Every structure is written in C-alpha cells, then in structure tokens.
Structure 1
Amino acid sequence: MVKLLVINPGATSTKFGVFDEERCIFKKAISHSEQDLSRFATVFDQYPYRLKLIEDELQRQQILLEDFCAVVARGGLLKPIQGGTYIVNHKMLQDLKNAVRGELASNLGAVMAYNIASRQGIPAFIVDPVSVDEMLPVARISGFSELERVSLFHALNHKAVARKAAAQLGKVYEKANFIVAHLGTGISVAAHRKGRVIDVNDCKDEGAFSLDRCGSLPAYQLVRLCYSGKYTFEQLKQKIMTDGGMYSYLGTRDIREVEKMAVEGNEKAKLLIEALTYQVAKDTGSQ
C-alpha cells in the first residue's frame, strides 16, 4: 500500500488529503480568516500555525504519520522550471524561506511537506509549482525592452484540470490543446499546447482583477500614482497585491458576500461581478 499525504496551502485556506494509491481516503479544507492571518508579519511566519492544524486534524482522525510513504505538496515561487514532480531539497527550502521571487502561501507547501517527511525518514515532493515556465519566446515580449512577461500561475490546478478534461474527452493531455482558466484569490488564464503552457498571464501583474488583486492596470495612470507621493512602494504593492480587486471596491474578499450584496440590490456589487466575468471572458478569448 502506497499511502500519501498531500498538502495544498492557499491564500485563505489549507487543504490536505490522504491517498491510498490514487484513492482519496480523507480530505480536509481549513479556511483562514483575515483575523487568523493578520497576526503574522510574513507569509512564511504562518508555517508553524498551518503545520499544527494539519497534524492536529490527522491525530483527530487517528491517521499516523509513520504510515505515510511520502508527502507531496503544492510548489511555490521558485526559479523558472518545467512542469513536473520535484524532490524537496535544502536549496529549495532556503529559496522559499527567503522569498527569493516573492511571498505566496504556496511557498509553505514544500516546507511543511519536508518537516513531516524528514521526521519520518521519507521523501517530500512538490508538483507543478507556480513557477512552471514553458512560455514561447514570442509570448515573453511585453512591448517595452526593459520588461519581460513572466510565467507565474496556478500551474498545479491548471495541469490537473487539463489532464482530467483530456481523460474525459478520451484524449492524452500531452497530445491535446486547451485553454484553462483558474478563478481563485488570483486569476490566471493559459493556453496549453500538447502538455506545455505556452502563454499565461502572471496574475500578480496582468489579466482580470480578482478578489484582492488588481490585475492589469492603466499603465500611465499607475506611473502617475507611483510618483504622486501619496503612497510608499510597500503601501502601493499591498494595494495592488492584497488590497485591490473586489476588496478595494467593497471591503470584502469573500465572493459569497459580494453575491449576497448583489442579490440584495447593491448595484456596485452587480457591476463588479459582471466586470469580473467580462474580464475573464476577454482573457480566455485572447488565448
């Protein structure tokens, strides 16, 4: 029996499951409120808190850590790499801890997996991290020679959904073409050609706005705002990355609350839902 612990940390939740081969025998999603996470100075500081939640739940379910053969996690912001499965090593952990390419909740996946695995003497892996980079050279051109478009997206979910869709259609992912849209805290829309993601929007920089990210912004207006003296670099980065999107208009990051507002007659909420749908559709069409 091959028993795996699988961990998927997201911006507002920690999901994990136990698998016997390919059969899921237990899964859990723990939501984290803004209040839960606001006490941590950095994303990496959340690591012991999230790890304890996982271990406490496994203990409640009487699932023993020593029964696992390996621990597998969602990968974080690493150096650009091809899609696939990678063993967690010390260099990877150091890059994630130092947030070499930035802070994301997915950075915690490899760290938590390695912590559990190393205590049990078993391997830890990551699969299709957000830094998967298979973009075509032509897709990297931004229109400004000093800036290049980069590949940072929800690769794990993209490729998993594409493989599932291919199987349902009686096809093989590596021989099929898809457009995949991931709608979450961040939104990414990608063109998949024969198993490779040849173009995708970096959801930190471009594409549709989401619950708390701005997505693409009018460049000239943004430059003027940067030099207005109104915000520091860190303040503006926070506005774009965590206080933008729906949150900047309505003060909530919960799409269920936005939908409730719309149902109750809030015209701004209705317009924002329409705008989000419109922007995702536009990104999908452009791929």
Structure 2
Amino acid sequence: MAYQVLVMNFGSTSTKLAVYKDTTEILKESIQHDSQALKAFEHTMDQKDYRKQAVYKWLTDHGYVLDQFDAIISRGGNCKPIPGGIFEITQPMIDDINTGLYGIHPAGIGCTLAYEFGKLHHVPALTAYPPVTDEFCELARFSGIRELKRISSFHALNHKAIAKRHCESEGLSYESINLIVVHLGGGVSVAAHQRGKMIDANNALDGDGPFAPERSGTLPVGDLVKMCYSGQYTEREMLKKITGGGGLMSYLGTASALDVEAKISAGNEDARNAYAAMAFQIAKAIGGAAAVLKGDIKGILFTGSIAYSEMFVNMLKSYIDFIAPVYVYAGENEMLSLAENAYRYLTKSEKPLIY
C-alpha cells in the first residue's frame, strides 16, 4: 500500500507544507507570511493559532483532511539534545520545546501542532534530526566559561540529508570521509562532518558563528553584556535582536537576499558592504571547520536558499575554494528528507528513538 504523509516545516517567515505518497511529492507549497502580521506577535510561540489556521486553510483549499494521513512529520523544534534519528513527538518533548531553554524557533510550533493534530486525529506525529541533534566531540562543547556549555543547535536535518546525498552521487562512503557543509538560509550554519558524525557546528539559532540574514551570530561579548544592563532593552527585546532582528535585518532592515542584491544592483554601498561582510564571516567559519578536520576534507557543500545566489556563492568561493572542491546543492531539501524519514517509520525499516 502507498502511505500518505503530511510534511510541515515552519520557518521564520514561512510555513512550508507538502503531501507525499511514500517518498513521491504530490503537492508542495511555501506559504509566505506577512512580516507585519508576524511582528504583531510579541513571542515566537504566540504565533501558534495564526500558523494553525494557515495549515487548516491550505488543507481545505486542496481538498485534504487530517484523518486521511498515515503520518504527520514536522521539522524538529529545540528540545533537549538528542541523538540523530526518527522520534515520535511526545508531551515531554513539547514541554521542553516550550520552555525555550534550548532556543526558540517557529519549528517548535510545527512540532506542537503535529502533536495536537496527531492526538486529535489518531495519526502518528513524528520528527527527525531536529536542530538539537547532537553528535559533537567533547572538545566542541567547551565555551570558555565553566557554567556555559556550547550546544548543538543548527540545521542538522538538511546537513545530514545533503551530506548523504552528495556521497551517494559521488560514489563515496559518508562514514569514511570528511566534509564541510554550509547551510545558507535565514540562519547560517557551518558544520564539520567527520566520518559520518557532525562533530562541531555553530549555534545557528541564538549562539555563535557568522551573522546571517536574521541572526546576529557571535557578538563582542563585553559590549553585549553592557547593552543588556543598559536599561534600554528587556530580555525579550535583546533576544529578538539576536534572533530575528540581527544580521542583515539589523544592518539593512531586510532579511531577503533578493532585496539585498537588488539594493546592490541599484548602487547601495551599505548593502554591498553588509553582504560582503556576511560572506567574510561565513568564510572564517569554514576555515575554522577545516582546521578542526585538520585539512582532510573531500568537499565543501553549500545548501539552503541563498545557495541559489550566484553572486553570494562566488563571494564565498573567492575565500575558500583553495581548501577543497566546492559543490552547490541549492534549496533546503528538508521536505523530502522528512518524508523519507516518515516512510522509513511507516515501513518499519527504521525504529523510532525514545525521547
């Protein structure tokens, strides 16, 4: 029999939805949300009802009801660190996501809604390779302050899927080689893949690494502490500056690479400099990953939506193509990867892990 799966991927400004029969895409759409409508919500998780209505409307518009599906799978939210694999979404996972202790991202809303939909319609609710998938080596956990530990929080699902897909296409064994994978989206993550394990990566949500379209990345720590205690901003406002209001959004008032490139084409030097600085910082992170892998690297893989940009890819290549061959896999590829994981669950070819 063919299994029908609803795939959900909640991003900062979009809700991506798809229907798959086994691993064949039947329907896919990215619903772009009005930025002003999203700004009306003080806290990211406050968007839950708004996003739920968007899902219901999309299903109704295309003639689907939730009872039709054999499984619902959502891109993972920020729960406690867990090993890579497929998970049934449970109440303890939702509780941990909603604490915000491990970072806050709209993907957490997706997990929450998948769980609620699943309980209401008696459909398995799943997630796979969430951002907190943790394969770090022990040295990667040191932050420099004993009380603070670096955590794994990045685009693990897409990293793993692209790395494996690249190895399949090149006739390589993922478990036998080293790669650097760079996700270029609203957040940017650079990870060192060592023989099948993602041993180090920047916290692409609210921690460190290069700045991104809407993330601040690593900041001057002393100045950040002073800013926090200046009395000008609440804790929530500071967190918004780091995630959602940082990076290109802070410098240029937009997180759209297309908008930035249009500004550059129109002669806007501020846009040109900010875009070039983002490439500069990402290149430094790639160099850091190369050092962690001691220069033994089979390839550097670019993925994510900004990998479609020839301008930005060329900016990056000019810094790092001496390290290893560069391969571009533009787009996020996360919907197919989620569908493939759901299929493995439904066919019992892979057992779910317990949260």
| Normalised-by-shorter TM-score class | over 0.9
How many residues of Structure 1 are paired with residues of Structure 2 in the alignment? 287
Task: Determine the structure 2 residue equivalent to 1:254.
Answer: 256
Superposed displacement of residue 68, structure 1: 1.2
* 1:284 maps to which of 283, 286, 311: 286
Asked whether the equivalents of residues 166 and 176 of structure 1 are also in contact (C-alpha less than 8 Å), the reply is no
Superimposed CA distance per residue, residues 56-102 of structure 1 (whole angstroms, 9 cap, x where no aligned partner): 22222223433211111111110111111100111112222333433
Superimposed CA distance per residue, residues 100-154 of structure 1 (whole angstroms, 9 cap, x where no aligned partner): 4332111012112122222321211101111111110111122333322221111
Query: Measured at CA, do residues 60 and 150 of structure 1 come closer, stay the same or move farther in structure 2, by a change above 3 Å?
Result: same
Matches for 1:1-287 after TM superposition, within 5 Å: 1-203=2-204, 204-287=206-289
Asked whether the equivalents of residues 153 and 188 of structure 1 are also in contact (C-alpha less than 8 Å), the reply is yes
Report the residue type matching 2:278 in the other structure: L
Superposed displacement of residue 173, structure 1: 3.2
After superposing the two structures, state which structure 1 stretch, 183-192 or 141-150, moved more.
Answer: 141-150
After superposing the two structures, state which structure 1 stretch, 6-15 or 44-53, moved more.
Answer: 44-53
Q: Note the aligned Cα RMSD (angstroms).
A: 1.8
Distance 2:16 2:50 in 1: 14
SS in 2 for 1:191: strand
Asked whether the equivalents of residues 79 and 94 of structure 2 are also in contact (C-alpha less than 8 Å), the reply is no
Distance 1:241 1:102 in 2: 10
Query: Measured at CA, do residues 206 and 247 of structure 1 come closer, stay the same or move farther in structure 2, by a change above 3 Å?
Result: same
Superposed displacement of residue 237, structure 1: 2.6
Asked whether the equivalents of residues 208 and 216 of structure 1 are also in contact (C-alpha less than 8 Å), the reply is yes
**Kindly, what percent of the aligned residue pairs are identical?**
39
Distance 1:144 1:93 in 2: 29
Distance 1:234 1:44 in 2: 13
Superposed displacement of residue 227, structure 1: 4.0
SS in 1 for 2:211: coil
Query: Measured at CA, do residues 230 and 50 of structure 1 come closer, stay the same or move farther in structure 2, by a change above 3 Å?
Result: closer
Report the residue type matching 2:162 in the other structure: V
Report the residue type matching 1:125 in the other structure: L
Report the residue type matching 1:141 in the other structure: F
Distance 1:43 1:226 in 2: 20
Runs (5+) with no aligned partner, structure 1: none
Report the residue type matching 2:213 in the other structure: L
SS in 1 for 2:237: helix
Query: Greater relative contact order (Cα 8 A, min sep 6): structure 1 or 2?
Result: 2
Query: Measured at CA, do residues 39 and 161 of structure 1 come closer, stay the same or move farther in structure 2, by a change above 3 Å?
Result: same
Superposed displacement of residue 230, structure 1: 4.1
SS in 1 for 2:103: coil
Superimposed CA distance per residue, residues 213-249 of structure 1 (whole angstroms, 9 cap, x where no aligned partner): 2111122333343344444433333222222211221
Distance 1:227 1:44 in 2: 26
Superimposed CA distance per residue, residues 148-202 of structure 1 (whole angstroms, 9 cap, x where no aligned partner): 2221111111112112212211234344422111111211110112322100011
Report the residue type matching 1:164 in the other structure: R
Distance 2:261 2:109 in 1: 31
SS in 1 for 2:143: strand
Report the residue type matching 2:286 in the other structure: T
Runs (5+) with no aligned partner, structure 2: 290-355
Distance 2:238 2:56 in 1: 37
After superposing the two structures, state which structure 1 stretch, 10-19 or 236-245, moved more.
Answer: 236-245
Task: Determine the structure 1 residue equivalent to 2:314.
Answer: none
